[in-house]
Amino acid sequence: MDFISRYRRLALKNHPSRRPEAGDVFLELAEAYDVLSDLRKKATYDKFGEEGLKAGVPQLSGEDGAWISPYIFHGNPHQTFRLFFGGGQPLRRWETHREIAPISSC
């Protein structure tokens, strides 16, 4: 399962409107998606870890295309959620689809 499918599943499951106690998890999911969905941020994270991503990579490291300035998450997991799902009411659509039972043949 790729990170996009995982984000979709976990963001719907841990959305604060469904699980108010999961606010921190929802925030961490949004930040992880923000990093993993950007090839440059992901490459920096893969090479230098979270510390390198958030502290910034020294220019003298010689890495072409590395993330030079420190990464700072915008801090709004709902913005990431809306951008991912395209606005609207994804929780309502998701719940509606889950409640539809298959029609059995008579």
* Cα 6 off chain centre by: 9
Structure-model confidence comparison of residues 39 and 87, the more confident one: 39
E strand or H helix that includes residue 75:
none
- Please state the rounded mean pLDDT for residues 72-77: 89
Q: What is the pLDDT of residue 63?
A: 56
Q: Is the pLDDT of residue 104 over 50?
A: no
How is the chain split into domains, by residue range?
3-99
With H, G, I as helix, E, B as strand and everything else as coil, classify residue 92: helix
Percent of the chain with pLDDT over 70: 70
Residue with tokens 């689809």: 97
CA distance 84 to 94: 14
Say what the alpha-carbon torsion angle 74, 75, 78, 79 is, to the nearest 10 degrees: -10
Looking at residue 46, its pLDDT comes to: 92
- pLDDT score of 15 more than 80: yes
Instruction: Report residue 42 as tokens.
Output: 């992901």
Local structure of residue 59 (DSSP, 8 states): G
pLDDT value at residue 32: 94
Share of the chain above pLDDT 90, in %: 33
